[in-house]
């Protein structure tokens, strides 16, 4: 499925066309830290460091609610770090039957309703949107941080942090961080008016030292499914990406390129240039693909919760920008994409 055709059905675009996007967003909300309980009056820097320093070290099994606009989903996540390998399984408990399994170098996405499986190369954590953050000292150039009180989530004591952008071209965040382990138990993305666009909240969480291997086995059989695999194209991707010829002329201050590759989307042989940018909190993806005669070009925008997408056509190519930033920001980014 190409980017242009997928955007006509925004939900499918988010869940399937952008490899790893769903995992990327959810990993931020589920970021964890390890260690002893914090001091009585922790500062923001200490809390953020605890939250992001040992994401892959915590072993847990939890159920959370994910609200995106008017849509609410229930999901289960199991996570384990063993012998220097990070394993993770994300299971949809409501809506279409789907799973995401992350094991070492691969991410496998299973969609039972569509009878499809997508296998992707697992990117490092810092490429996965808000999976890890830059130090507060660097982020403070673009965001303000403050302690916002105490609360309880899933029966556990938490400290609340509010993160507000200094410029209106980004969103704000509110984080509920577990006092004992540093696990992020609740998170809200706030628009420029302070209203919630997306939120995730654990309703049940079990943190332990061990999880059986069976917890990471998919319940979707996959017999007769169509498989799309991009996980083994690593060697050729970098070379092609370097000569793709497309660049982004404008980005909000602080955004830097974290990845650039050329890949083939599912159900299409047309290569797509994929550039990933982040400021340490928010992530923006830029897709450029040559137009296909069989598909009508798409121009305009779509939104789902905090995720905005804007598409335009230039030099017989479809340009699509997707990110957790306000719509005017993705539109300005898309307008600046040009062929060198």
Sheet arrangement for strand 106-111: 143-153, 156-165, 172-178, 184-190, 196-207, 60-68, 71-82, 85-92, 98-103, 106-111, 116-121, 226-229
Looking at the structure, tell me whether residues 239 and 159 fall in a common domain. no
pLDDT > 70: what percent of the chain? 77
Rounded-to-integer distance, Cα 111 and Cα 260, Å: 26
State the CATH number of the domain containing residue 315. Answer: 3.30.200.100
Give the SS3 label for residue 297.
coil
In a domain, residue 92? The reply is yes
Give pLDDT tens digits for 81-108: 887 788 899 999 999 999 999 887 788 9
**Tokens 């000569």 — which residue?**
243
Q: Are residues 85 and 120 in the same domain?
A: yes
Give a yes or no: residue 90 inside a domain.
Answer: yes
Q: What is the DSSP letter of 93?
A: S
Are residues 199 and 129 both part of a single domain?
Answer: yes
For residues 199 and 256, state if they share a domain: no
Helix H or strand E segment including 254: none
Tell me the per-residue pLDDT of 177-220, one tens digit each, with 9 for 90 and over.
Answer: 999 998 899 999 999 889 999 999 999 999 888 888 899 999 88
Residues 205 and 240 reside in one and the same domain: no
For the chain, what is the domain count?
Answer: 2
d(CA 309, CA 321): 5
In the DSSP assignment, the letter for residue 39 is P
Identify whether 59 is part of a domain.
Answer: yes
Are 48 and 187 found together in one domain? yes
Q: How far is CA 113 from CA 89, 110, 116, in A?
A: 18, 9, 8
Give the residue numbers spanning the domain of 265.
Answer: 232-339
CATH number at residue 153: 2.50.20.10
Question: Are 163 and 263 in the same domain?
Answer: no
Is 227 within the bounds of a domain? no
In this structure, are 287 and 319 located in the same domain? yes
Residue 75 and residue 183 in one domain? yes
Position 39 confidence tier, pLDDT thresholds 50, 70, 90? very low
Compute the radius of gyration of the chain from its Cα atoms.
Answer: 20
In a domain, 5, yes or no: no
CA gap 314, 257 in Å, rounded: 22
Within this chain, do residues 58 and 139 fall inside the same structural domain, yes or no? yes
**pLDDT per residue as tens digits for the range 290-314:** 888 777 778 899 998 899 999 999 9
- Residue 105 included in any domain: yes
């Amino acid at each position: 499925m190409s980017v242009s055709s997928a955007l006509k059905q925004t939900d499918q675009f988010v869940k399937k066309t952008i490899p790893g996007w769903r995992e990327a967003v959810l990993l931020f909300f589920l970021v964890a830290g390890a260690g002893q309980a914090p001091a009585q009056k922790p500062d923001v820097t200490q809390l953020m460091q605890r939250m992001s320093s040992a994401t892959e070290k915590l072993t847990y099994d939890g159920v959370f609610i994910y609200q995106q606009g008017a849509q609410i989903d229930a999901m289960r996540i199991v996570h384990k770090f063993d012998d220097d390998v990070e394993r993770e399984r994300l299971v949809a408990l409501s809506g279409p039957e789907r799973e995401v399994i992350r094991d070492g170098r691969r991410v496998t996405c299973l969609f039972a309703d569509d009878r499809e499986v997508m296998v992707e190369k697992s990117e490092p954590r810092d490429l996965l949107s808000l999976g890890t953050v830059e130090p507060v000292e660097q982020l403070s150039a673009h965001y303000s941080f403050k302690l916002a009180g105490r609360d309880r989530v899933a029966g556990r004591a938490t400290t609340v942090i509010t993160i507000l952008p200094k410029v209106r071209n980004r969103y704000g965040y509110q984080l509920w961080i577990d006092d004992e382990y540093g696990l992020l138990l609740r998170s809200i993305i706030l628009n420029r008016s302070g209203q919630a666009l997306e939120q995730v909240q654990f309703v049940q969480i079990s943190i332990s030292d061990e999880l059986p291997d069976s917890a990471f086995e998919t319940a979707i059989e996959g017999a007769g499914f169509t498989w799309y695999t991009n996980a083994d194209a690593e060697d050729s991707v970098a070379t092609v990406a370097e000569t793709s010829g497309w660049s982004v002329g404008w980005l909000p201050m602080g955004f830097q390129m974290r990845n650039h590759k050329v890949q083939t989307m599912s159900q299409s042989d047309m290569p797509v240039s994929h550039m990933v940018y982040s400021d340490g909190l928010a992530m923006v993806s830029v897709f450029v693909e040559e137009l296909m005669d069989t598909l009508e070009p798409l121009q305009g925008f779509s939104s789902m919760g905090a995720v905005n997408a804007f598409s335009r056509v230039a030099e017989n190519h479809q340009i699509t920008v997707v990110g957790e930033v306000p719509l005017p920001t993705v539109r300005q980014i898309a307008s600046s994409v040009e062929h060198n």
